[in-house]
Chain A
Amino acid sequence: MKNTLFLGALACTALTAGVAGAATLDEVKARGTLNCGVTTGVPGFAEPDANGVWQGFDVAVCRAVAAAVLSDPNAVEFVPTTGKTRFTALASGEIDMLARNTTWTFSRDVDLKFEFTGVNYYDGQGFMAPKDLGVTSAKELDGATVCIQTGTTTELNLADFFRANGISYEPVPIETGAEAVQQYNAGACDVYTTDASALAAQRANFEDPAAHVIMPEIISKEPLGPLVRHGDNEWADIVRWTLNALITAEELGVTSANLNELAAGSDNPEINRLLGTEGDLGGMLGLDADWAERAIGVAGNYGEIFEKNIGESTPIGLARGLNAQWTDGGLLYSPPFR
């Protein structure tokens, strides 16, 4: 009911405030902070650290946009949203962008009137079960009780998967990831399903992570990316190209270590265009020439952000896999800066 109330309140705000007008960029500049919607806490992706400062892979996107637009990576107001509240928060103008493990789907893009600005993590839905259950494949889960976060695409994929394989299950709908983990650990459900990245992230926080297996089946495509409201193309461009700048920086070998050196000018014209020493890409976006340099300067390029937050050296330990650069056999492929 909390959320229903919240939605109702938001609907009312939307009524009186009106759907936020076109110029989100001007609003953000006038306000001096970027309102960025994130999760209520997924380790590695978005979670406040011990000092209450938000850290994570999705948070880095918010900070990069804030650095590009406001020249200050800390000028971000993080708004925690649940699976239920996130779209209303964005549609009502409470947040300027949403960077929250949100799957890019047709109906969200077209019917809900949002604009996905790219993909920052190629994910897929997986299953996790205790090792002593002896299950090795998701197809052996006939009759299992499955914990699932309600209001997500995973809920629909789950129904489709079990239906397609002609096996039955009992869904246990749960509001947040934390509650789901609690129930899973208490044995109230046999299996927990969500995006494979989140499974790995939450398993990393278990007492004994090795006692749980993630099934080999990935039952869906979950391209996760930041999104903004439909209808403000300038703002969408800024978020889209900030993300692309991070990806391109990795491709071109621009890192936080050599950023200052390269920003002074280099022999590679694409690096020069990206970092603003050649051409006027920043001006076309309505920003200044150094926008991408500032965005990359926050935490480095896409690869550095990945390694620092969710990479193999972290407790979450995700391999690059599909999220490697296209030159390394992955799917990351930014359009050229030209």
Chain B
Amino acid sequence: MTTLADQPVTASNESFKLSMLLNDTRYRSLTFQFIALVAIIAFMAFVGGNLVRNLTEAGLNISYAFLGEPSGYDINQRPIEYDSQSSHGRAAVVGLLNTLIVAFLACVTATIFGVIAGVLRLSNNWIVSKLMSFYVEIFRNVPVLIWILIIFSVMINVAPSPRDFRGDDAVASMWLFDSIAVTNRGVYLPKPVMGDGSMIVLAVFALSVIGIFAFRNYARKQLFDHGRMVPVFWPSIGLFFIPAILTQFVLGNPITLSYPSLQGFNFRGGITILGSLIALWFALAIYTGAFIAENVRAGIQAISKGQTEAAAALGLRPNRIMSLVVLPQALRVIIPPLISQYLNITKNSSLAIAVGYMDVTGTLGGITLLQTGRAIETILLLMAFYLTVSLLISFFMNVFNNRMKLQER
């Protein structure tokens, strides 16, 4: 033992020779790392220098002054005030918000699709499990751009155009008592209009949401302390709807709905959800949902069968086994790949231009780039945007993951 331990000491006493950088395993990796580092720095310096030199030769320069100039173009979906006199910078922000909107909607929907499909794929029912594997395989193995285009072209060709709603013998009609119009330009929903006293209704609604959480806590306490099962589902539903609706009636309908109606070329006076948003949202959700389904399946299968059997032996019903025993444990396997699916959705949303949805790639990286010709500046900015958004999503999901993961002792 002592002789073995002594050997490195004697080795380090040897005088350092240059050949040891290559021949000695202790230094070799360092040598190569150093060489790689120098090569990368040299390459970056070469590319950067080349860029600057070529730009100067072509008489161009890197400048972000264009961000303050009027953009001159219009955007069809404006989460914030914007018109053609607003600046390119503002157009970029509008685009960024549009990216975040579609990414958020698609993440939520994809998670729902994925969890349902992933759980059902393990169903004992042959038809259900085969249907779900069919869904997963079909949607996972066709590129998302194709799905976006398919869904969009089906939508614009199948849904009626607004002019079909016109006239006495209209070909198309609105849904749900003339309140919702589904057209090939988008879906028009009634918009709530806040009248006097509507704040009270909203306050009651907020209170009842808090009430739901309180009730669930109470039910949990009853279960843990006294072993009594208090039904939770129907009371929660009741709490959600009844107080707010009652207040609405008692106060004499302070919140009214403004229904969309056909005026001129389009429906107006409601909430518009653009067809391009729907197509993009749905395509991203259903495509990524297929991947999430596989993650969920992997997570569930990672939980040993003994857990399920033990829970069943305790007398839990199958849906409770899934929601109380299996899924909470499966989450720690599911969440890390889920993070990367969320990042994929955010990045894939840049395919928006295929259906004319004005995301940040469409405004800043599309029209602004072309109208100003500032390719390098806009692409750099675009990269920074996506990097920031992705890192933020990653950060928050990692925080969530850390809270969810098994606390090992």
Q: Could you tell me which A residues sit within 8 Å of B by CB distance? A: 1, 3-4, 7-8, 11, 14-16, 18-19, 83-84, 87-88, 91, 107-108, 111-113, 133, 141-145, 150-152, 155-156, 158-160, 162-163, 169-175, 182-183, 186-190, 230-231
Contacts and interface: CB of A to CB of B under 8 A. Distances in A.
Contacts of B203: none
Given A162-B74, A170-B266, 11 more contacts: A1-B361, A4-B366, A83-B370, A84-B369, A141-B265, A145-B265, A150-B367, A151-B370, A152-B370, A155-B367, A187-B162
A231 B57 CA distance: 10
B356 interface: yes
Contacts of A190: 163, 265-266
A88 B50 CA distance: 17
Given A1-B361, A19-B54, A173-B353, A156 B266 contact: no
A144 B265 contact: yes
A4 B184 contact: no
B371 A151 contact: yes
A113 B60 contact: yes
B231 interface: no
Given A15-B47, A186-B157, A169 B366 contact: no
A156 B72 contact: yes
Contacts of B266: 143-145, 170, 190
Contacts of B99: none
Contacts, number: 141
Contacts of B59: 113, 230-231
A142 B156 contact: no
Contacts of B375: 7, 11, 88
A1 B349 CA distance: 9
Contact of A87 (B57, B75, B263, B373): B373
B379 A7 contact: yes
A150 B366 contact: yes
A175 B353 contact: yes
A188 B161 CA distance: 6
Nearest to B72: A156
A99 B376 CA distance: 24
Contacts of A150: 353, 356, 362, 366-367, 370
A335 B72 CA distance: 35
B49 to A, nearest CB: 10
Name the interface size band of chain B.
35 or more
B370 A173 contact: no
Contacts of B365: 4
Contacts of B275: 188
B265 A160 contact: no
Contact of A173 (B57, B263, B356, B373): B356
A18 B83 CA distance: 38
A186 B275 CA distance: 13
A182 B355 CA distance: 12
Contacts of B382: 4
Interface in B340-360: 350-351, 353-354, 356, 358
B18 interface: no
Interface string B376-402: 100100100000000000000000000
B376 A11 contact: yes
Contacts of A162: 74
3 smallest CB-CB distances across A and B, nearest first, come from A187-B161, A151-B370, A159-B84
Interface string B160-198: 011110000000000000000000110000000000000
B139 interface: no
Q: Which of A88, A108, A112, A172 has the most CB of B within 10 A?
A: A172
Contacts of A156: 72-73, 84, 371
Contact of B74 (A19, A151, A169): A169
Given A4-B382, A18-B54, A145-B265, A87 B74 contact: no
B7 interface: no
Given A113-B58, A186-B184, A155 B73 contact: yes
24 contacts: A3-B366, A4-B379, A7-B369, A8-B379, A11-B375, A18-B57, A84-B370, A91-B58, A108-B373, A133-B265, A142-B264, A143-B263, A143-B266, A145-B265, A151-B369, A151-B370, A155-B371, A173-B353, A173-B362, A186-B157, A186-B161, A187-B163, A188-B185, A190-B163
